[in-house]
Amino acid sequence: MKNKPYSCQSPKEGWSWETPPDKIPEEQVKETLTSDVIVIGAGISGLAASTRLAQKGLKVITLDKCDAAGGHGWQIAMLDSPLMRKMGKKIDKSEFVRRWLDVSGNQPNEDMVWLFVNNSPKVFNWLMDVLDEDVEQQIYTGCFKGPIFGEYEGSHHLVRKEGSRFKGRGGGPLLIEAFERQIALHGNQLLRNTKAHYLEKDENGRVTGVLATGEDGICRRYNGTRGVVLATGDIGGDLEMLEKFCPIALTREIDLFWPKTSNYGDGHKMAYWAGAAFDDAPWAPVMHNHPYGRFDSFYLHVNSRGERFMNEDTWMQAKSVRIGMQPEPSWAFAVFDAKWLDEFGERFHLLGGQGAMPLGMAINDVEWNPDCGLKEEVQHYIDEGNGYVCETIEELAEKMEVPYENLKKTIDRYNELCALGDDPDFGKRPELLTTVEKAPFIAIKMGASLLDVMGGCLTNADLNILDADYQPIPGLYAIGNCCGGMYGVDYPLLLNGNSYGRAFSYSQVLGRVLSGIPDEEEGGTEK
């Protein structure tokens, strides 16, 4: 018999989150507020959903336990936009979905990937309307250009214009401000410092609302006549959930999400207690090379034993995962020599990806320019103690705290491969084999950080959360990282900014489903 997905109907495994909290005595629930929809979580997906629902004429109360939204992101993935068309950028959608499934171990529900893809063309004009067109539009073209891990040119940057009414510099902070403005303009409530505890159901099993405590310390019942939307982010802060669903994330040196109390899987737990089923493990961690220096590029990488451990010719997610998996201490170094900037410039057309390309060089197809700030960026990492410049390999090994004999052997072997013009050890593109031979020698430290964990509640294509029998739980919806179905095993960096992209695509779906009003063909007005 087929195993059911992980849910409270599965055999208990004794994890602490499986036990629902005690019910709050009715006399402590001081007030009931009713709206069409209750959105729990006012991060990027919750605010986008609340905005879209308000634009569709619904009354929405949005709750968040923190006093401000994170707004971490800058990149917004879209598969098609007027800007892309203007710049001649085209993504083959079928190829994109095939590659997505490949990276994700075939775990995603294909419907959910296509839901993102097919709703994506509506997003750009919608965001332009929300932002009153008061932004500069850019496309990230610093994508990784190597084989297999190639990234698509569909990540959008929306940047504050001088004199704009908005204060946010761009990306997440700017969008949060714009969404909050829309919510207020529609006369809807956004309640921060208001923590949701658990969901309530009626006698027919329909989710009716949630109990939450506000900043005044008062517990209230928030009922949504059309639905309750979980937009509570991911499980990155809950070590027990990571152990169960995404153990590889535990190899990270630091967590990058904020506010620091935000991502503890609260929505996952609330849904679980209400009967929801989850994605199968392992969930996909989003890992970046951020704890130390942030420049690694195509140069030789060595671990804390001074040994080469990977093909450096890949995107940042792969590097961060591989670094996290190294023997303790699990940091690494990118090692290069006096020729590095010239070598970089000569290979500029072959390079790309986060960690390889300074952001200023990564937009709108700009051409190589040695004065792009890369030299200063590397110097900055050295100045802050996350990199070293030395006249000898011996001195460098000492600074790096790696065994000199190992580092020497690794560099000798690497130089041998460079002379050979072939890398039978790890399979790097021959064009990227550059020697480490000319003093001064430079090493920039690398490490693995955790941004998010992509995995959550199973839903249907209406974003209605499913139980272990794949039946929708009436009244309960998910969006953002609490929503499952689209990721598995590893994070597909192939279109940077796909968390924001998915959240905005799915907010169009929620708007349509919960209002019953179909969308305009492309959202907003053609720009």
Question: How many angstroms separate the Cα of 8 from the Cα of each of 21, 205, 208, 467?
Answer: 14, 15, 19, 9
65 is an interface residue for ligand FAD by CB under 6 A: yes
Among 53, 54, 69, 432, binds ligand FAD (CB under 6 A): 69
Measured from the CB of residue 3, what is the shortest distance to ligand FAD in angstroms?
Answer: 27
Can residue 263 be called a binding residue for ligand FAD (CB under 6 A)? Answer: yes
* Identity of the residue, 257 or 336, whose beta carbon is nearer to ligand FAD in the bound complex: 257
Q: Which of 70, 154, 227, 387 binds ligand FAD (CB under 6 A)?
A: 70
Nearest to 58 by CA among 50, 68, 48, 67: 50
Strand order in 155-160's β-sheet? 76-77, 155-160, 135-139
Of all residues in this chain, which one has the CB nearest to ligand FAD in the complex?
Answer: 43
Interface pick for ligand FAD out of 7, 39, 74, 493 (rule CB under 6 A): 74
What is the nearest approach in angstroms of ligand FAD to the Cβ of residue 65? 4
Q: Does 315 bind ligand FAD (CB under 6 A)?
A: no
Contact characters 23-42, ligand FAD, x per CB under 6 A: -----------------xxx
**What 3-state DSSP class applies to 478?**
strand
Structure-token match 């001081």, residue found = 30
Judged by CB under 6 A, which of 5, 46, 224, 353 binds ligand FAD?
A: 46
Q: Examine residue 463 and tell whether it contacts ligand FAD (CB under 6 A).
A: no
Q: For residue 241, give the H/E element and its range.
A: helix 239-245
Question: Which positions ≥6 away from 159 have C-beta within 8 Å?
Answer: 135, 136, 138, 169, 170, 171, 174
- Measured CA to CA, the distance from residue 312 to residue 172 in angstroms comes to 30
Query: DSSP class of residue 308?
Result: B
Cα gap 206→419, rounded to integer Å: 68
| DSSP string across 280-307 | PSPPEEEEES-SS----TTSEEEETTS-
Give the nearer residue to ligand FAD in terms of CB position, either 434 or 508: 508
Residue owning tokens 């209605």:
464
- Select the residue interacting with ligand FAD from 87, 97, 256, 390 (CB under 6 A): 256
Report, in Å, the least distance between residue 100 CB and ligand FAD.
15
Question: Could you give the CA distance from residue 86 to residue 75 in angstroms, rounded to a whole number?
Answer: 19
CB of 176 to ligand FAD, least distance (A): 9
Q: Please list every residue from 392 through 431 that binds ligand FAD, using CB under 6 A.
A: none
Contacts of 361 (CB under 8 A, 6+ apart): 142, 368, 369, 372, 373, 374
Within residues 194-253, the interface with ligand FAD by CB under 6 A covers: 195-196, 231-233
Q: Are strands 195-201 and 464-466 parallel, antiparallel or unpaired?
A: unpaired
Please report whether residue 456 would count as binding ligand FAD according to CB under 6 A: no
Where does this chain touch ligand FAD (CB under 6 A) — which range of 29-37, 70-78, 354-362, 368-376? 70-78
The Cα angle at residue 125 between residues 230 and 521, in degrees rounded to 5 = 85
Question: Of residues 80, 151, 177, 266, which one binds ligand FAD by CB under 6 A?
Answer: 266
Considering only residues 489 through 518, tell me which ones interact with ligand FAD, judged by CB under 6 A: 497-500, 503
Nearer to ligand FAD (CB atom), residue 36 or residue 238? 238
Shortest spacing between CB 47 and ligand FAD, in angstroms? 8
Cα 273 to chain centroid distance, Å, stands at 26
Bridge-based pairing of strands 472-478 and 464-466 is antiparallel
The region of 2-10, 65-73, 114-122, 141-149 touching ligand FAD under the rule CB under 6 A is 65-73
Pick the stretch among 15-23, 125-133, 310-318, 479-487 that binds ligand FAD (CB under 6 A): 479-487
Neighbouring residues of 174: CB distance < 8 A, sequence distance ≥ 6: 131, 135, 158, 159, 160, 166, 168
Task: List residues binding ligand FAD (CB under 6 A).
Answer: 40-46, 63-66, 69-70, 72-75, 195-196, 231-233, 256-257, 262-263, 266-267, 451-452, 480-482, 497-500, 503
